[in-house]
Amino acid sequence: MRYLKYKSIKQNDMKDCGAACIATILRQYKSNIPISKIRELSGTNELGTNVFGIVQCLNTFDFESKAIKADMSIFDDSTLPYPAIAHIIKDEMLLHFVVIHKVEKNHLLISDPAEGLVKISKQQFEEMWTNAIIFTLPKENYISLSENNNSLLDIMKILLLDKKLIFHIVVAAFTVTLLGIIASFYFQTLIDSIIPEGALTTLNVISLGIIFLYIFQSAFESIKAYLLAVLGNRMSIRLMLGYYNHVLLLSMNFFATRKTGEVISRFTDASKVVNALASSVLTIILDVTMLLLISLIMFFQNAKLFALTLIVIPFYCVIILVFVKKYDELNHKEMEDNSLLNSFIIESVNGIETIKAIQAESEASKKVDKLFINYIHSMFKTFKLDNIQTALKQILQLAVNTLILWSGAKLVIEGTLSVGQLMTFNMMVSYFSTPLQNIINLQPQLQTAKVAADRLGEIFTIKSELDENDSEKIIHEDIFKGVIELKNVSFNYPMQRECLSEINMKINFGEKVAIVGKSGSGKSTLAKLLVSHYECIEGKIKYNDYNIKDISKKNLRKNVTLIPQTTFFFSGSIYENLVFGLDREVTLEEVIHFCKIVCIHEHIESLPLGYSSFIEENAANFSGGQRQRLALARSLLRKSPIIIMDEATSSIDSYTEKKIIDNLMIIPSLTVIIIAHRLSILKECSHIYVMEQKKIVEQGTHLHLLQNQGTYYNLLGYSE
């Protein structure tokens, strides 16, 4: 308990360690900022967070920070400020950040985002440390900030949408319990009145009544279970589909900085939240009410025995408090391990062709074995903790039950309590303990749900790429039938080096232009800026003199279609895939027309079912060139006035590629921007931009650039 004042924020995913360390520092200084926002400000990507990003993020929150290289002697200086962030190598392979809270003579108290507060020896730390450390202190003008991040309470608002259904559940559950309480008095009446008096007629009537009462109780129990299932289904639909729909509206940067498994694992988290909230409906509303009602009945039955019954409550509270922190740690670990396992399984299935080509099946199997065993260990640790806590609760409850019977038997012997009253009270104890147990058992469920809700909340707090007023932005389509202009456009990904520098371009409507350059010169990044997947840091992109920031993103992407090198196809027919995403009716004749333009019609017609032929997931039953031609046909069907082809023909043979490009060149009302490495097809383009080292270094026609014998000339010579 001596370390209670030191904070520790857990990471949600493996790459969150840097962001979690920043969150820990902020929490230590009474600020509460969601990890999702810190990730964005620190430039966390698929590789994690770098030192520069951490320093810049802390500076954003009015901290003075300095990163240095040092050795262990630095910890002998008692004037240095803590907490500080250190960079380590964990498990001999993983780059990781931790927060150093306190330096003692032979030990360090650290906050490890993966494990929580840990006390380790200086020798252990030295073996892990990369010698990089960030010292930080709040500036004089620092003001603590707190952004609401109570994800579980926010999600609980979903329940309010079904108030009528919840009311019916409560009525059904209340009726079940009430009928059970009435039935418990049957034994008292039987033993204390009917049997001693030999009242056979009364026995028959009451017994038949009890049978009908049990029938009604079972009926209401079934109704309650049905209504709970309905409530759970409605919550699942709202939460899980709400999560999926929210993810669809996030920016490309979100997907570029997270693994697929991390996104998918949140669906499992959502089911845990739904289960916990569905249980809490009855517990919070009904069990508390029933507990109070039964307490009153038991008190009037026998105050002394009721007092003994209450002994269990403080002991339950102690058991809960002892296990709270450990449950939190284990739930975090289990969900993180599940996320890592899902991510690698998805990656290995998607990359199975590569795995087989390099004979890496054994390595992939070993990695999955390790990740799966880690996940099983995490689950088993949670199970053991739950098992221990359940056993303690059961021992406590059985001990109290025995104590009640012990004391009650004495009262019967003394003549102050009848046998029937003791049996009735003993049955009432079960009705008292059931709602009490339900309330107590909410603790592990709600803790699991809270961790899961926090992971979901991290995604929900990320703003959609569509502004709230996106529909109010410029939506008329005529602006895309004008000039595309880029003025001094510069761009860099968060906390990374510049990707584009002072790009200037002017493309007239209907023009066919090319952008060429070596790999890594910035061509694909430029294409993404033109469809607003990312926003330029400096400069302006204009469509017919309208700033791209003032144009509705939905309208922009409807009229400017980006065709990447690798496109995805869904399981279904060829026709279904080609018209996927279109908001208009498309005839087969129209589909055939565009398939002829991209030279794929003859192949489709040769298939047994033609355009009804089945496409496997991601068109695995088609060659790379055929997939690219299908992608081109799908994009042309959108009838966008502007298309951007980012290496969209790289897998097509030269002869077919030339025919496709020639077909596109003769479409007058279509602006085509071709990004390519293969330069032999670009001779017909009216203008060519040559990129090198993130800049446009040359521009002109094919012949003009050849005559200059510059970068374009060298690229062409190299390719030939």
What's the token pair of residue 21?
């360390």
| CA–CA separation, 565 and 636 (whole Å) | 15
Q: Count the Cβ atoms, other than its own, within 10 Å of residue 316.
A: 18
| CA–CA separation, 667 and 127 (whole Å) | 65
Tell me if the bond preceding 494 is cis, omega within 30° of 0. no
Please report how the helices 654-665 and 624-636 are oriented relative to each other, as an axis angle in degrees rounded to 10: 10
Q: Is 17 labeled as catalytic in the residue annotation?
A: yes
Nearest residue to 15 (alpha-carbon basis) of 88, 118, 94, 127:
94
Q: Which helix (H) or strand (E) holds 357?
A: helix 352-357
Nearest residue to 466 (alpha-carbon basis) of 243, 242, 250, 245:
250
b/e burial code for range 675-685 (CB count within 10 A of at least 16 → b)? bbeebebbeeb
Q: Which residues contact 648 (CB under 8 A, 6 or more apart)?
A: 563, 564, 565, 628, 631, 632
Radius of gyration, alpha carbons of the chain: 34
| CA–CA separation, 487 and 503 (whole Å) | 7
Q: Which helix (H) or strand (E) holds 396?
A: helix 361-414
Nearest residue to 531 (alpha-carbon basis) of 554, 511, 503, 513:
554
Map residue 135 onto helix, strand or coil: strand
Q: Which residues contact 267 (CB under 8 A, 6 or more apart)?
A: 240, 243, 244
| CA–CA separation, 274 and 37 (whole Å) | 25
| CA–CA separation, 107 and 198 (whole Å) | 79
Q: Which residues contact 662 (CB under 8 A, 6 or more apart)?
A: 684
Please report how the helices 163-189 and 419-460 are oriented relative to each other, as an axis angle in degrees rounded to 10: 160
Which contacts of 466-471 are long-range, i.e. CB under 8 A and separated by 24 or more positions?
Answer: 466/249, 466/553, 466/554, 470/552, 470/553, 470/554, 471/552, 471/554
Q: Which helix (H) or strand (E) holds 484?
A: strand 484-492
- Residue 527 C-beta-side C-alpha neighbours within 13 Å: 25
| CA–CA separation, 576 and 612 (whole Å) | 8
DSSP letters spanning 180-242: HHHHHHHHHHIIIIIHHHT-HHHHHHHHHHHHHHHHHHHHHHHHHHHHHHHHHHHHHIIIIIH
- What are the two backbone dihedrals, phi and then psi, of residue 467, each rounded to the nearest 5 degrees? -65, 160
| CA–CA separation, 172 and 262 (whole Å) | 40
**Helix (H) and strand (E) counts for the chain?**
26, 18
Map residue 48 onto helix, strand or coil: strand
Q: What's the one-letter identity of residue 32?
A: N
Map residue 83 onto helix, strand or coil: coil
Q: What is the pairing mode between strands 84-90 and 94-103?
A: antiparallel
Give the helix, strand, coil percentages of the chain, each rounded to 5: 60, 15, 25
- Active-site residues: which are they? 17
